[in-house]
Amino acid sequence: MHNNSAPHSDAQNAANIGSQSTEHPVTVNTTGNTTGTPHTGFTNTTGIPSTDSTNATGDPSKDTTSDESRRAQAVAEIAAAKNAIRTARMAAAEADAVSKAVINLNDKRLQLSELSTDAALELLRVNTMPYQKLMTYYRCAIMEVETKFKVLNEELSLSYERNPIESIKGRIKTPESIFRKMRQKDIPVSIETVEEHINDIAGIRIICSFIDDIYTIAESFLMQDDVTLIAIKDYIKNPKPGGYRSLHLIISIPIFLQNEKRNMKVEVQLRTIAMDFWASLEHKIRYKKHIPENEAALLARELLECADQSAALDEKMQVIKNRLKHLGETT
């Protein structure tokens, strides 16, 4: 026997099917029934609650609450999805901004005052290829200069009966040191300006036995036709106020690459063993230390005294060497 209630819509039937417990499956009967078995197509008169939004008891509160809960959950899921999309778009925009900043780094000529040191370093690291190529060129220049001094040392050992060069040390300035110097000079951040304005990115240190060896080797080196002297600073004859002594040469030298010849700048420092001993220890004592003013003044005086003693030792050793050389010539 069929009841005459109007059937629900297909959409409501589908919703009701989804609401049934998986523990008690039911059979959908599109013609209705009088068995008391719950179904999803029509209402029934058995007194057994149906899963429809209305039933014979006239109490829709249970199903209404369930519908509201599902709607609230759906709204929450939609809101979460929108937040996820918004976050993804913001991340993409930030990534795009960083990418554009890197691509336009050389064109924009960003001033150091606009960037923190960490931000500037990060931009430089991201823009690795031009920077790495430039550092490779500087390493090649150091190799060229090292070879020249090794050849001079080998040749002069024949006439000196000793090697006037004790050691040769090369180094490339760190990114931190480069940016610190650029900040001091207020130089725009670009690969071109680094190469143009910073003269000591590539450095080579020549440690000699005696003071006169320094000037002999420097003169022979500068006489070579592919070495161009840019600047010279003689801190041996004119020491720095703190006591530092060394002969500095800024030179340009060609390097021969696969498809080009390129002139690179190198700073050459020539020192005696005593000068290098003092300078190395002075750097280790002072480097990145926050010293109180009263202690700093006392430390400066003591380091200057050590520098004077080191200079006196160099001069005394030079006198002894000259006397022995003179004795050798007269015997």
pLDDT tens digits for range 113-162: 566 677 777 766 666 778 889 999 999 999 999 999 999 999 999 887 78
Q: How far apart are CA 241 and CA 224, in angstroms?
A: 33
Backbone angles phi, psi at 147, to 5 degrees: -60, -40
Q: How far apart are CA 262 and CA 181, in angstroms?
A: 24
Reply yes or no on whether the pLDDT at 74 is more than 70: yes
What percent of the chain is modeled with pLDDT above 70? 69
Reply yes or no on whether the pLDDT at 56 is more than 70: no
Higher pLDDT, 306 or 284: 306
Residue 124 is predicted with a pLDDT of 62
* Max mean pLDDT range (37-41, 116-120, 183-187, 306-310): 306-310
Reply yes or no on whether the pLDDT at 4 is more than 50: no
The predicted model gives 37-51 an average pLDDT of 43
Smallest CA-to-CA distance from 121 within 104, 102, 103, 107 is with 102
One-letter amino acid at 194 equals V
CA dihedral 58, 61, 67, 71 (to 10 degrees): 140
Helix (H, G, I), strand (E, B) or coil at 272: strand
Q: Do 182 and 197 meet the contact criterion of CB atoms below 8 Å apart?
A: yes
Cα 96 from chain centroid (whole Å) = 19
Residue 32 is predicted with a pLDDT of 41
Q: Poorest-confidence range of 52-56, 108-112, 215-219?
A: 52-56
Smallest CA-to-CA distance from 162 within 331, 326, 325, 330 is with 325
What percent of the chain is modeled with pLDDT above 90? 41
For 25, the token pair is: 């499956």
Query: Which residue among the candidates 161, 176, 267, 302 is catalytic per the annotation?
Result: 267
Whether residue 267 lies in the annotated active site: yes
The two counts, helices (H) then strands (E), for the chain are 10, 5
Q: How far apart are CA 95 and CA 103, in angstroms?
A: 12
Q: How far apart are CA 164 and CA 272, in angstroms?
A: 10
Q: How far apart are CA 30 and CA 18, in angstroms?
A: 17
257-295: b or e for each residue (b if 16 or more CB lie within 10 Å)?
Answer: eeeeeeebbbbbbbbbbbbbebbeebeeeeeeeeeeeee
- The predicted-structure confidence for 161-187, as pLDDT tens digits, reads as follows 789 999 999 999 998 889 888 888 888
* Max mean pLDDT range (45-54, 61-70, 82-91): 82-91
Reply yes or no on whether the pLDDT at 39 is more than 50: no
Residue 289 is predicted with a pLDDT of 67
